[in-house]
Amino acid sequence: MTITRRNVLLGATAAAALGPIAARAQTSEVKIGVIYPFSGASAQIGVDAQRAFETAAEIINGKYDYDLPLARTEGLPGLGGAKIKLVFADHQADPQKGRAETERLITQEKVAAVIGSYQSAVAVTASQICERYQIPYLSADNSSPSLHRRGLKYYFRAAPHDEMFSQAMFDFFDAMKKKGTKIETLALFHEDTIFGTDSSNAQLKLAQERGYKIVADIKYRANSPSLSAEVQQLKAANADVLMPSSYTTDGILLVKTMAELGYKPNAIVAQDAGFSEKALYDAVGDKLEGVISRGSFSLDLAAKRPMVGKINDMFKAKSGKDFNDYSSRQFMGLIVMADAINRAKSTDGEKIRDALAATDMPGDQTIMPWKRVKFDENGQNNDADPVLLQYVGGKFVTIFPTQAAVAEASWPMK
Amino acid sequence: MGLLYGLIAVGLALIFGLMDVVNFAHGEFLMIAMYATFFLFAFFALDPLLAAPLVAAALFIFGAVVYLLIVRFAVRAKANTGMVQIFSTFGLAVLMRGVAQYFFTPDYRSIPHSYLGGKTISIAGIYLPQPQLVGALIAIAAFAGLYFFIHRTDFGRALEATREDAGAVALVGIDKNKVFALGWGLGAALVGLAGAVMAIFFYVFPDVGASFATIAYVTVALGGFGSVFGAFAGGIVVGLVEAMTTLILPPSLKTVGIYGVYLLIVFIRPRGLFGSI
Amino acid sequence: MDKAFIQRRRRDLIVAACLALLATQVPRYVTDVYIQNMMIMTLMYAALSQSWNILSGYCGQISLGHALYFGLGAYVTAILYTKFGMLPWFGMCAGGLLSAVIAMALGYPCFRLGGHYFVIATIVIAEIALVLFQNWEWAGAALGITIPLSKQDSWLTLQFAKDKLPYFYFALALACVAWFVTWWLEDSKWGYWWRAVKDNPVAAESLGVVVFNSKMGAAAVSAFLVAVGGGFYAMYVTYIDPESVMGFQFSLLMALPAVLGGIGTLWGPMLGAVILIPLTELTRSYIGGSGRGVDLIVYGGLIIAISLARPQGLVSLFSRKRKPAAQPVREAVAS
């Protein structure tokens, strides 16, 4: 066998071409910025989010036999097995700081993408900065519908927004009415920041369209020292359904005040937030038997998809909590983003953006009850079906929509 | 509820009003007291009502230590005494929040079952939650005690005299630091009582103090500095105004009512309702 | 008029001019946008704190409600820009004037209040404004106002996509203006009255009416400058909501640099901002991600340490020989 000069050359070129890739596979990593509140009133959310993202990174970077994108391989095969590295930043719920920290993540830490942010107000500024630097921003858990309507090219949201959530609630009311349950009047109770305002606007609109009467629409100041006057008004209105949109702090106070003032509504259908937090149920769970909350996650999915239970165990080992509506969306946020980076085979912002836009992930490859992950032209995933969960005997069971339900709703609540 | 604001304000009335020292960490004192109550409950299953004296005692020591370590120097500052007080106690507030977050984590906690929690008495259709009722009684007792204390005991007189003229007092052989340290301890102990009662029906987390602090300042100022009775009256006014504004205005505006009444009162009476300084 | 005083004033002006010139050259060597952002924030806070210092330091009327004027400036600028298409330059002036008028209207009843009563009144007024804005649907309520991204950079609309330098120069100019106004006021009639009042309460009585008017003037100037700062913030951050521009925290943050640097002094607010703002940014960025509040512990501890160790502010470290620019506020709060 003769080794021609050409062969040698070819081999050399191949080695030269492969060299960097092989070298990169050993050392390289892809940085993803994660921006959450780590201090201040909602610091606990940030701390839990950190655990959720770490769990997702562990699954991506390690080898796990789950039917989840990137679980079975180590790192990102599209980038020669590069590992995901998370860079956390604290925005203290301040839009200005969120903006500055996002810019720092992009320019100093050289992150390939940014995920955030719990507070919708921060998502506004963070995603604008990302747009300017042409780096994709993915809302893991922001639910304000105004976010994806700003015409941003680099903004994505895999999870449902408040209008989709509220729609599910009203679909549920319609279904209950058909079965003969009396649901005519609603009482809205919402806090005065962006979350409560958006949520109540959506609910008001839907109630009008579908012929429900709003007998009380109470807006209160977030982190109020007392809610007794508000609860008196709710009690006087005595609607068929009470629909609170509250964060954890106000949620606890609301439930306690209701018990003190002897107000027991027929049913509570909550817009998540505080009503999916473990802290709230630790505090006042005994008074909430039968409360219904919207959500995008339910642990009873584990019966159908065993990996949900196993991943939940991983998260629980880190945080001492089960996945809830927030932590599950955060987890999926990183999976969706990593999947796109893997397909983009690059850390270039525009390529990742295009890969995100082309995402089509079947629902059963997620840990959510979603149909699929596929973004529309605004970057919103319209196939993320929300579910309604009822708190029964210390845990949540899915009661709506029917195809995901594992139990019948018990109405009125106990 | 008004009396509860009064209860939170009474400790502040002593520190802020009688000793003329600004304490911007008042809300954080309350936070520490609530945590103390919570942990006594969590580890020793001690009901908040029983824990109250213990918490008050602990806060007494804490308050005195804070005075000796920080406030003593702030009061002594040669220039800008007012600003130094505001900002050293503000720094303390930030520090305490950080420490609380470090040790207790930012999680929300609350006491699920206590002797009084969630019980109500109903009189002619008006519901009176028992924790608030007990809180109100404690508030009245605390005010009466403090009033008696300030006006009838040697220590109370020494306290007032020290504020008026520390130099002259020193001549009579009273140690200003000792008097003020005791005053701070006492003020903090009262906050401790308030915290124990609050913990029955409120949640605890590192930033909880912020919700109450501004209301407490307004309560004290509304009643007038230097007057224990004023703080008591201020608490009642705040409670009433809060209940009444919600009848005319949407609930999200209720603080506007409270603050508006404060402005109205001080514009008419620049020293608050019963203020002497 | 003593000669040393004139000399010192001339020297201050020269030093300031040199520093400003030097500052314009800094961006040549600092290209990192994160650091640039930090410098912009530092300059903005320096300007705000300097303006706050006019009313609260020199005049002795301690306001912890200046977030009101900051928020007004930000809102007027943002609303005029997004709803009426008016240039932010115009919006800043309008916001400034509105704030000045409101400051005088509020000053009229408030200046009669003494000590703590005044401080609490300022807190409460800002708080009321915050709640009203939070419920004002037309002004965006809690959703706030987003300034849409413009396609091209322009000085007219103060919109620059990635370039931070124009913002840097704007903030620098603002800080210079605030400094110069303070410098000028120090030597004006008002400046003399304020000093006289602080030195001698009896003089205050006899000067009563004039001093009252000068306080109103100080409130107006102070509010105007702070509102312009608010307008700048709105255009820079491109998003405002009531909590982030009118919160109580903001009033404190505005006062803090002046207090640490030296309240009622010409250089105090500048020095305070240069030390404090980078410190808060860096502690948050590099130790804040832990979620354990270590940054708060460091920050709080430092504030206590500085305010106790240097009650006259850090600026007193430099002025062993010369007299303080104005006599320190005579226990304004503890009256």
Omega into A276 within 30° of 0, i.e. cis?
no
Q: What angle do CA B218, C141, B205 make, to 5 degrees?
A: 50
Mind telling me how many Å the CA of C143 is from chain A's nearest CA? 5
Of C131, C241, C284, the CB nearest to A194: C241
Mind telling me how many Å the CA of A108 is from chain C's nearest CA? 7
Of B205, B207, B251, the CB nearest to A220: B251
Neighbours of chain A (3+ CB pairs under 8 A): B, C
Partner-chain contact A96 C233, CB within 8 Å: yes
Does residue B107 have a pLDDT over 80? no
Mind telling me how many Å the CA of C275 is from chain A's nearest CA? 18
**CA-to-CA dists, residue C47 to C71, C177, C181, C312, angstroms:** 15, 8, 11, 20
CB of B104 less than 8 A from some CB of C: no
Encode pLDDT of B129-145 as tens digits: 777 777 778 888 888 88
User: What is the rounded average pLDDT of the residues C139-164?
Assistant: 76
User: What is the rounded average pLDDT of the residues B201-209?
Assistant: 81
Q: What is the pLDDT of residue A281?
A: 85
Residues of chain A with CATH 3.40.50.2300: 17-160+302-383, 163-295+388-400
| Exposed e or buried b per residue across A327-347, where buried means at least 16 C-beta atoms within 10 angstroms of its C-beta | bbbbbbbbbbbbbbbbbbebb
Which residues of chain B make contact with C311, given a CB cutoff of 8 A?
77-81, 84
Residues within 8 A of C (CB atoms), B 115-144 only: none
Q: Is residue C328 part of a domain?
A: no
CB of A225 less than 8 A from some CB of B: yes
- A124 near C149, Cβ under 8 Å? no
Partner-chain contact C32 A94, CB within 8 Å: no
More confident residue, C203 or A199: A199
Of A103, A132, A197, the CB nearest to C142: A197
CB of A107 less than 8 A from some CB of C: yes
- For chains A and C, CB pairs below 8 A equal 102
Q: Is residue C126 part of a domain?
A: yes
Q: What is the pLDDT of residue C204?
A: 63
- For chains B and C, CB pairs below 8 A equal 165
**CA-to-CA dists, residue C212 to C116, C141, C191, C198, C209, angstroms:** 18, 36, 13, 14, 5
Report helix, strand or coil for B235: helix
Of B117, B211, B251, the CB nearest to A219: B251
For residue A156, the cross-strand partners are A138
Which range (A32-46, A167-181, B35-49, C285-299) has the least confidence? C285-299
Residues within 8 A of C (CB atoms), B 208-227 only: 214, 217-218, 221, 225
Partner-chain contact B108 A283, CB within 8 Å: yes
Residue of B nearest to C295 (CA): B98
- Quick one: residue C99, left, alpha or beta (phi over 0 = left, psi -120 to 50 = alpha)? alpha
The C-alpha atoms of residue A233 and residue A238 are separated, in whole angstroms, by: 9
**Domain harbouring C200, CATH code:** 1.10.3470
Mutation pick from C31, C32, C34, C41 vs chain A, by most beta carbons of A within 10 Å, is C34
CB of B102 less than 8 A from some CB of C: yes
- A336 near A359, Cβ under 8 Å? yes
Residue of A nearest to C31 (CA): A107
Mind telling me how many Å the CA of B125 is from chain C's nearest CA? 33
Report the range out of A2-11, B245-254, C85-94, C296-305 with the highest average pLDDT: C85-94
Report helix, strand or coil for A391: strand
Partner-chain contact A279 B242, CB within 8 Å: no
Mind telling me how many Å the CA of C171 is from chain B's nearest CA? 26
Residue bearing tokens 């304004």: C332
Does residue C102 have a pLDDT over 90? yes
Strands A395-400 and A387-392: antiparallel
For residue B40, the cross-strand partners are none
Neighbours of chain B (3+ CB pairs under 8 A): A, C
Measured torsion, CA atoms of residues B6, B8, B13, B14, in degrees rounded to the nearest 10: 130
Q: What is the 3-state secondary structure (H, E, C) of chain C?
A: CCHHHHHHHHHHHHHHHHHHHHHHHHHHHCCCHHHHHHHHHHHHHHHHHHHHHHHHHHCCCCCCCCHHHHHHHHHHHHHHHHHHCCCHHHHHHHHHHHHHHHHHHHHHHHCCCCHHHHHHHHHHHHHHHHHHHHCCHHHCHHHCEECCCCCCCECCCCECCCCCHHHHHHHHHHHHHHHHHHHHHHCCHHHHHHHHHHHCHHHHHHHHHHHHHHHHHHHHHHHHHHHHHHHHHHHHHCEECHHHHHCHHHHHHHHHHHHHHCCCCCCHHHHHHHHHHHHHHHHHHHHHHHCCCHHHHHHHHHHHHHHHHCCCCHHHHCCCCCCCCCCCCCCCCCC
* Amino acid code (one letter) for C73: G
For residue A400, the cross-strand partners are A388
CA atoms within 13 A on the CB side of A3: 5
Nearest to A314, CA basis, from A304, A164, A302? A302
CATH T-level assignment (fold) for domain A17-160+302-383:
Rossmann fold (3.40.50)
Of B132, B201, B255, the CB nearest to A221: B255
Partner-chain contact C114 B73, CB within 8 Å: no
Partner-chain contact C312 B262, CB within 8 Å: no
Of B84, B92, B259, the CB nearest to C127: B259
Q: Say which residues have a Cβ less than 8 Å from residue C181's Cβ, sequence separation at least 6.
A: C51, C54, C221, C225
Q: Is residue C330 part of a domain?
A: no
Of the pLDDT bands very low, low, confident and very high (cuts 50, 70, 90), residue C319 is low
Nearest to A104, CA basis, from A119, A128, A87, A124? A87
The C-alpha atoms of residue A223 and residue C95 are separated, in whole angstroms, by: 30
Partner-chain contact C62 B80, CB within 8 Å: no
Nearest to C139, CA basis, from C148, C131, C127? C131
Residue of B nearest to C296 (CA): B98
Of B1, B212, B252, the CB nearest to A220: B252
The C-alpha atoms of residue A210 and residue A229 are separated, in whole angstroms, by: 30
For residue A270, the cross-strand partners are A293
Report helix, strand or coil for A330: helix
Q: Is residue C325 part of a domain?
A: no
The C-alpha atoms of residue C227 and residue C75 are separated, in whole angstroms, by: 9
Mind telling me how many Å the CA of A265 is from chain C's nearest CA? 27
Partner-chain contact A44 B106, CB within 8 Å: yes
Domain that holds residue C45: 3-317
Does residue C333 have a pLDDT over 70? no
Could you please report the per-residue DSSP string of A78-93?
Answer: GGTTBEEEEEEEE-TT
CATH number of A163-295+388-400: 3.40.50.2300
Q: Is residue C335 part of a domain?
A: no
* Residue C87: both structure tokens together: 């240039």
Could you please report the per-residue DSSP string of A46-115?
Answer: HHHHHHHHHHHHHHHHS----SSTTTSSSSBGGGTTBEEEEEEEE-TT-HHHHHHHHHHHHHTS--SEEE
Which residues of chain B make contact with C132, given a CB cutoff of 8 A?
253, 256
Does residue B215 have a pLDDT over 70? yes
Residue bearing tokens 């520090």: B95
Q: What is the pLDDT of residue A21?
A: 44
Encode pLDDT of C237-253 as tens digits: 888 888 888 888 888 88
CB of C332 less than 8 A from some CB of B: yes
Q: What is the pLDDT of residue C291?
A: 55
Q: Alpha helices of chain B — where are they, by DSSP H?
A: 2-12, 26-44, 48-66, 72-76, 81-104, 130-152, 154-164, 166-171, 176-201, 209-223, 228-248, 254-268
The C-alpha atoms of residue C168 and residue B63 are separated, in whole angstroms, by: 45
Of the pLDDT bands very low, low, confident and very high (cuts 50, 70, 90), residue C214 is confident
The C-alpha atoms of residue B57 and residue B203 are separated, in whole angstroms, by: 22
User: Which residues in chain A come in under a pLDDT of 70?
Assistant: 1-27, 41, 414
Which residues of chain B make contact with A286, given a CB cutoff of 8 A?
112
What is the percentage of chain C residues whose pLDDT exceeds 90? 20
Tell me, what DSSP letter sits at residue A160? -
Of the pLDDT bands very low, low, confident and very high (cuts 50, 70, 90), residue C134 is confident
Mind telling me how many Å the CA of B60 is from chain A's nearest CA? 25
Encode pLDDT of C19-67 as tens digits: 888 888 888 787 788 888 889 999 999 999 999 988 888 887 888 889 9
Q: What is the pLDDT of residue A16?
A: 44
Residue bearing tokens 């993408």: A113
CB of C281 less than 8 A from some CB of B: no
Report helix, strand or coil for B202: coil
Which residues of chain A make contact with B210, given a CB cutoff of 8 A?
41, 223
Residue bearing tokens 């139990």: A407
User: What is the rounded average pLDDT of the residues C159-176?
Assistant: 84
* Residue C138: both structure tokens together: 């037309």
Mind telling me how many Å the CA of A106 is from chain C's nearest CA? 9
Nearest to A28, CA basis, from A102, A78, A103? A78
Encode pLDDT of B57-101 as tens digits: 888 998 888 888 888 887 776 666 677 787 888 888 888 888 888
Average pLDDT over chain C, rounded to whole? 81
- A194 near A144, Cβ under 8 Å? yes
* Residue C50: both structure tokens together: 């300097």
* Residue B187: both structure tokens together: 């003020």
Give how far the C-alpha of residue A301 lies from the chain's centroid of Cα atoms, to the nearest Å: 17
Does residue B155 have a pLDDT over 80? no
Of C119, C297, C299, the CB nearest to B99: C297
Which residues of chain C make contact with A194, given a CB cutoff of 8 A?
142-144, 241
Compute φ and ψ for A373, nearest 5 degrees: -115, 110
